[in-house]
Amino acid sequence: MKITIMGAGSTVFARNVVGDCLCAEALRDSEFALYDIDEIRLRESQTILEAMRTAKGGYGKITTYLGIENRKDALRNADFVVNSIQVGGYDPCTITDFEIPKKYGLRQTIGDTLGIGGIMRALRTIPVMEEFARDMEDVCPDTLFLNYTNPMAMLTGYMQRYTGVNTVGLCHSVQVCSEKLLTELGMEDRLEGRKELIAGINHMAWLLSIQDQAGNDLYPEILRRVEEKMSDPDCLDKVRYDYIRNFGYYCTESSEHNAEYNMFYIKNKYPELIDRYNIPLDEYPRRCIDQIDKWKKEYAEILEKGVKEHERSHEYASRIMEAIVTGTPYQIGGNVLNSDQLISNLPAEACVEVPCLVNGYGVHPCHVGPLPVQCAAMNMTNINVQLLTIEAARTRKKSFIYQAAMLDPHTASELSIDEIKNMVDDLIDAHGSWMPEYH
């Protein structure tokens, strides 16, 4: 079996995926094909993964493929392809995505999923993933493409609508959503045997129901404790708790992400909201700098002291592969096309996040039905931007980029139409060769 990792220079992520596979008897003898366009980072990943493979008993083998000219060979006959690329990286592209909007008074926290940062990231990434798709259609047409790259709904939705590649989008937030909520509210005693239903869109999927082992609805107690938490000045999850208070439901992704997915919390006219809700502006650039520094230190330590023992993570990738290979059913929260009206009050073209059963026949999305009307309405403010960005990528028309930015909740709440168009033009110019289709 062959498992190909695109963007394998993301060493920490590649280590988790390959390490998880080495923990699974059905997967550990695979060829792990590492592909990247950065030679240094690819070699670092190879070094770490070879050491991990040896520590895990020497199963499988690691192969490396550097550069676009070797991409087809990396993909050839792959059974699974895992995608974790970041086109343009932190420097220069993420820096550009944050600094130019700041000149217009538009502030962001993460900028990788929605907002002007998410739009630009999608438009840089989709052409590259389109090339991946054409190669896969040629050399591994039956592969399952596991996309981890953000903006999840835009990239996954494009692949599902405009390529022939069997694609599912995967995030980290669904599987830890209710555990985090109950733990932070001091309700750990309700974790065991709990039942839950989560559905919506990536980074804004809703915890629609949560019951304890005996079938008791936990939301009344959750709401009571949320009111207490909101008065805690050190609480870092206030945006999501505010969602519960105002919309009735908790959502999957963190407060620092959701602070910029709407028009409520980051407002020049109300600067006091930043402190009230503990909103970390410019959070993603800080994380990038910290992660780069942390990785340098960790890599040096690994070279000196060896690879630490790997315990199987909560990432879905290896679980999906294992379920398909062995036929043992497993449930995930997956990002799939809503073409079968899985969520009946969201558009068929939307990429939605719903429960999916995985077995020997593949990934099978589950029908959810309608979301509560207010949850669907919140999702639609994001879906509007996602669909218009996908249309911009498909047609290469700048007018759709303008419209996506104009309909972005946070952007539109802060800037005029003229400012939005000027900002988009400035971003495209600054990105230069990273976005040649729009020049």
Active site residues: 172
**Nearest CA among 427, 416, 392 for reference residue 123:** 392
DSSP codes, 368-411: --PPPHHHHHHHHHHHHHHHHHHHHHHH--HHHHHHHHHH-HHH
**Nearest CA among 333, 72, 363 for reference residue 203:** 333
Instruction: With beta carbons less than 8 A apart as the criterion, state whether 15 and 51 touch.
Output: no
d(CA 122, CA 116): 10
Element (H, E) at 288: helix 283-305
Number of other CB atoms surrounding residue 173 within 10 Å = 19
Tokens of 420: 């939005």
Collapsing DSSP states into helix, strand and coil, what is residue 312? coil
CA dihedral 432, 434, 438, 439 (to 10 degrees): 30
Q: Establish how many alpha carbons lie within 13 A of residue 127's alpha carbon, considering only the half-sphere containing its beta carbon.
A: 16
**Nearest CA among 190, 182, 200 for reference residue 355:** 200
Backbone angles phi, psi at 121, to 5 degrees: -65, -40
Instruction: With beta carbons less than 8 A apart as the criterion, state whether 69 and 37 touch.
Output: no
